């Protein structure tokens, strides 16, 4: 590694030096570190107390507001990688080495199942989001197939998030610019509420161009994105709430068919529509009935017209649809004040359908196929208070059944049981320890099972390479054991300061791991199963707050192997260090910050991947947000990402990441 380990160590030492009693600002300390998680166990609780590694990111905070892509908002999260290069349409999230169908991606509770080729699956502008929650580790017991690596849940803004106390109507306007890809993005959001009704409408336009990399090259890219969010909620009879939501996304751009490559350019139009309707009943006096019903429909269409290369003029189209329904309930049962049960249970059904066409031949690698999934789960979160502390025991089990078929008559079906048991112990508010055992599975997605057609053209001794469908592909199952501990201390160095640490180590045993087997000289590409795989990882994160100073740091590592051959798998991730240091100068209504991401050499790679060098990337940011006076409705955010224009390639990628980008966002609330 070219100095990244040294950089990480220096960052730790620097932060320790900075966090001393010698600060002069007369600022009331804000030392609360208790973010709340909803998705970890379906019961709201602090991320510290949850028997899992969880992060909740608030996107409107300083340092996050100028993020234009997934990479910008997730790059400094422990155990998380954003893969696919710097083009936004190809970026996907990896949690603990698992990505795509091996993690569950949600937007306001809707599954994001779009997986075809090299494109991403999240079609919503970051400006419409209020938070992102990341649950790291096996989550299939309550969320079903695909929850091997965890859950990433995006939440959009509501009127209540934007209205000031006493206000019933408001309008937010903002303008974002970024130099790294010549982005300009105006955003308008209007919102209001009455006694029973709340409404929100938000429209974002984004225009961007070629991406300037740290290698002083340009990645040919053009994006013209229009994103609409409409939400309406109505409360009746005090405790009954219904809500409707619609998102519409259109990206008319130009880039390679594979956004992480430098190949021939296509005119690519992506259109995504999502509709959902929810009902909930939440009477605080009724402990047994807290039902939530959710029905939704997603449709993603892509049209790709070859602008260069041997197939110039060809148009290839994809149409991916998901319909889903969930019904959940929670029942609270108490046996005295120190023995409580929270039962969470429900059912889920969703169906995916993929269709493709091409004006020349077929859309290679994109099958015409469909799949159905049904799941039912039960979880009991048991809290027991004793004289020596609080014990939490969480047994959970879920059964899922899936079936799929393509238009050539190939089909498959299977059912899986996903059990999980978590146990945590908190002797006091300052310390917690937990352990968990979980079995999770992932059904093969439609592309893995049924892809046909040309993968890539041959040359010289290498023949043309063709996809081979594999309807006998088995679901991959992973058994994971995890242990972790947390420390939460006050008045550590200074009065009213706070230190919070939490870490975990885990080991997973995989059966029938799904991998892409590319036989270059045989001319075939086929998804196959690896009989046995083993994965080991660890992660540690901590936050320290003292008056105007706040420091957040984390480090993680993942090693994955074929247990039969000893070959490394693409899940392996090198030692990666992240940090975020900030200083709040209340007297001038300002926040100053510095971020670092440093990774070691990625040399434990699969036979189909290439090694990448280690790197260290620095960002700085600033926010000015007056709380009174003539400018109290104005917020100015500024950042420089990749401050030193570092040339680096992330593990598994084929192109350099974005170089130095100077970003600014001006927001005004009317």
Helix (H) or strand (E) holding 376: strand 369-386
The answer to whether 496 and 555 have CB atoms below 8 angstroms apart is: no
Continuous H helices in 540-670: none
CA torsion sign for 251, 254, 259, 260 is: negative
- Per-residue pLDDT, 259: 86
**Low pLDDT (below 50) residues in the chain:** 1-31
Length of the chain: 670
Cβ-based neighbour number of residue 285 at 10 Å: 5
CATH class of 4-669: mainly beta
- Per-residue pLDDT, 27: 36
- Per-residue pLDDT, 14: 36
- Per-residue pLDDT, 13: 33
Q: CB-hemisphere CA count at 13 Å for 213?
A: 19
The answer to whether 142 and 42 have CB atoms below 8 angstroms apart is: yes
CA torsion sign for 22, 25, 27, 30 is: negative
- Per-residue pLDDT, 332: 97
Cβ-based neighbour number of residue 363 at 10 Å: 23
Phi, psi of 153 (to 5 degrees): -120, 120
User: Can you give the residue ranges of every domain in the chain?
Assistant: 4-669
Which residues have C-beta within 8 Å of that of residue 147, sequence separation ≥ 6? 103, 104, 138, 139, 140, 141, 418, 440
The answer to whether 138 and 478 have CB atoms below 8 angstroms apart is: yes
The answer to whether 332 and 288 have CB atoms below 8 angstroms apart is: yes
Read off the tokens for 300: 């993603």
Give SS3 for 20. coil
- Per-residue pLDDT, 84: 87
Read off the tokens for 11: 């960052």
- Per-residue pLDDT, 33: 65
Task: Give per-residue pLDDT as tens, 551-596.
Answer: 999 999 999 999 999 999 989 999 999 999 999 999 999 999 999 9
Read off the tokens for 474: 């088995």
- Per-residue pLDDT, 651: 81
Cβ-based neighbour number of residue 43 at 10 Å: 16
Read off the tokens for 78: 């422990």
The answer to whether 271 and 237 have CB atoms below 8 angstroms apart is: no
Could you tell me where the beta strands, DSSP code E, fall in 126-237? 129-136, 150-156, 169-178, 183-193, 197-208, 211-212, 218-219, 223-236
Read off the tokens for 272: 């995504």
Read off the tokens for 282: 């939440």
Quick one: three-class SS letters along 30-88? Answer: CCCCCCEECCCCCCCEECCCCCCEEEEEECCCCCCCCCCCHHHHHCCCCCEEEECCCCH
Read off the tokens for 54: 């969880």
Distance CA 616, CA 515 (A): 30
The whole-model pTM stands at 0.92
Burial class (CB in 10 A: 0-12, 13-18, 19+), 227: buried
Residue in the structure block whose two tokens are 């104005």: 634
**C-alpha distances in angstroms, 43 versus 47, 325, 344, 461?**
11, 20, 8, 59
């Amino acid at each position: 590694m070219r100095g990244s380990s040294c950089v990480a160590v220096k960052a730790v030492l620097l932060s320790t030096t900075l966090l001393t009693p010698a600060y002069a600002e007369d600022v009331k300390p804000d030392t609360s570190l208790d973010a709340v998680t909803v998705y970890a166990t379906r019961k709201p609780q602090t991320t510290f107390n949850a028997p899992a590694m969880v992060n909740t990111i608030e996107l409107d905070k300083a340092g996050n507001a100028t993020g234009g892509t997934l990479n910008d908002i997730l790059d400094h999260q422990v155990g998380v990688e954003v893969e696919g290069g710097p083009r936004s349409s190809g970026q996907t999230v990896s949690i603990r080495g698992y990505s795509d169908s091996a993690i569950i991606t949600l937007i306001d509770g809707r599954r994001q199942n779009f997986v075809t080729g090299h494109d991403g699956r999240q079609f919503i502008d970051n400006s419409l989001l209020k938070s992102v929650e990341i649950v790291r580790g096996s989550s299939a017991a309550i969320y079903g197939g695909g929850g091997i690596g965890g859950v990433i849940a995006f939440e959009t803004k509501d009127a209540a998030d934007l209205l000031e106390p006493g206000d019933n109507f408001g309008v937010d306007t903002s303008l974002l610019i970024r130099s790294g890809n010549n982005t300009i993005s105006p955003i308008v959001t209007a919102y209001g509420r009455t006694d029973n009704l709340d409404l929100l409408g938000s429209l974002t336009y984004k225009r961007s161009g070629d991406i300037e990399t740290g290698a002083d090259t340009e990645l040919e890219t053009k994006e013209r994105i229009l994103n609409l969010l409409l939400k309406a909620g109505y409360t009746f009879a005090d405790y009954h709430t219904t809500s409707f939501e619609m998102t519409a996304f259109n990206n008319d751009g130009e880039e390679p068919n594979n956004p992480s490559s430098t190949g021939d350019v296509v005119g690519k139009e992506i259109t995504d529509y999502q509709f959902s309707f929810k009902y909930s009943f939440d009477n605080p006096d009724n402990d047994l009935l807290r039902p939530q019903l959710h029905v939704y429909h997603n449709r993603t269409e892509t049209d790709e017209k070859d602008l260069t290369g041997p197939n110039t003029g060809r148009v290839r189209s994809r149409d991916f649809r998901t319909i889903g329904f969930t019904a959940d309930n929670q029942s609270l049962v108490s046996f005295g004040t120190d023995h409580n049960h929270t039962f969470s249970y429900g059912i889920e059904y969703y169906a995916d359908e993929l269709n493709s066409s091409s004006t020349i031949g077929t859309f290679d690698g994109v099958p015409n196929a469909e799949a159905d999934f049904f799941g039912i789960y039960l979880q009991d979160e048991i809290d027991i208070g004793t004289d020596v502390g609080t014990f939490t025991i969480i047994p959970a089990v879920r059964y899922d059944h899936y079936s799929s078929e393509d238009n050539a008559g190939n089909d498959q079906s299977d059912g899986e049981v996903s059990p999980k048991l978590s146990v945590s112990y908190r002797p006091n508010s300052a310390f917690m320890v937990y352990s968990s055992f979980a079995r999770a599975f992932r059904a093969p997605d439609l592309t893995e099972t049924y892809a046909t057609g040309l993968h890539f053209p041959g040359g010289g001794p290498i023949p043309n390479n063709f996809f081979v469908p594999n309807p006998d592909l088995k679901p991959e199952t992973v058994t994971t054991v995890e242990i972790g501990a947390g420390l939460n201390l006050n008045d550590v160095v200074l009065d009213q300061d706070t230190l919070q640490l939490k870490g975990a180590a885990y080991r997973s045993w995989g059966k029938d791991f799904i991998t892409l087997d590319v036989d270059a000289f045989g001319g075939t590409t086929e998804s196959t199963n690896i009989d046995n795989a083993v994965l080991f990882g660890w992660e540690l994160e901590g936050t320290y707050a003292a008056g105007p100073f706040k420091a957040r740091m984390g480090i993680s590592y993942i090693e994955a192997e074929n247990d039969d051959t000893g070959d490394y798998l693409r899940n392996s991730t090198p030692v990666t260090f992240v940090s975020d240091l900030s200083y709040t100068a209340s007297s001038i209504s300002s926040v100053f910050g510095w971020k670092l991401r440093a990774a070691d050499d990625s040399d434990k790679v699969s036979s189909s991947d290439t090694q990448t060098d280690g790197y260290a990337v620095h960002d700085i940011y600033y926010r000015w947000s007056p709380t009174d006076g003539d400018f109290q409705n104005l917020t100015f955010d500024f950042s420089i990402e990749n401050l030193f224009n570092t040339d680096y390639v992330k593990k598994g990628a084929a192109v350099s990441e974005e170089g130095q980008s100077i970003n600014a966002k001006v927001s005004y609330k009317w």
